[in-house]
Chain A
Amino acid sequence: GIQVEQSPPDLILQEGANSTLRCNFSDSVNNLQWFHQNPWGQLINLFYIPSGTKQNGRLSATTVATERYSLLYISSSQTTDSGVYFCAVLIRNQFYFGTGTSLTVIP
């Protein structure tokens, strides 16, 4: 079946540090999104990035579709970045979510 794997599963950072989160997927995708799920459970869209690179403030993402992976970069992390980061891929009308990376940023 379709597999979406995220690494690392857990990450603890000191405020101000940088990090890279990875998403590997097992099939060709039509769509890939990164989400941040905050402590209240709300999923917030970060990037719609089926290929290429995008940047938004301290966050950037790169998807290499031919090699079936995507990376999310967080620079100068803040405590408000804490939460779970999910990637989701669209394959044949269905979105498949990874298991997430749980990020804790400590002051």
Chain B
Amino acid sequence: GAGVSQTPSNKVTEKGKYVELRCDPISGHTALYWYRQSLGQGPEFLIYFQGTGAADDSGLPNDRFFAVRPEGSVSTLKIQRTERGDSAVYLCASSFTLTSGSTDTQYFGPGTRLTVL
């Protein structure tokens, strides 16, 4: 597609449930990032994929959070035993990787607004 897409756009769940959030990056982008944005704050890094592998998952808050990118394209962020504090907008971004190894311009999806009741 033309841009990064994320589904669903909104997700309401109950405390303790499991949720999956999906990100479709721009075709050909090797780098993929997940962020979480709480109200009034800037996005907070969660995890970074280079191809199929998680190059840096140090931003995941705890072991209830997990993400995969099995074919190096679509990624799924999985949250187990959701808590009210997980409520936020979850953002995905993708980019090319430069020959230097650094990341080129990031392009963001519209986000998934997660509400845990």
Contact = CB atoms under 8 A, between A and B. Distances in A.
Most buried by B among A90, A94, A95: A95
Contacts of A45: 105-108
Given A41-B89, A43-B91, A97 B44 contact: yes
Contacts, number: 59
Nearest to B113: A41
B59 interface: yes
B42 A99 contact: yes
Nearest to B44: A97
B99 interface: no
Contact of A100 (B35, B42, B111): B42
Given A41-B110, A45-B106, A98 B58 contact: no
Contact of B102 (A31, A40, A41, A86): A31
Given A31-B103, A45-B106, A93-B56, A98 B111 contact: no
Interface residues of A, number: 23
Given A45-B106, A90-B103, A95 B45 contact: yes
B55 interface: yes
Given A43-B108, A48-B104, A48-B105, A94 B58 contact: yes
A90 B48 CA distance: 12
Nearest to B59: A94
A43 B56 contact: no
Contacts of A96: 45
Interface string A81-107: 000001010100111111110000000
B16 interface: no
10 contacts: A4-B42, A35-B108, A43-B108, A88-B106, A90-B103, A94-B48, A94-B58, A95-B43, A95-B103, A99-B41
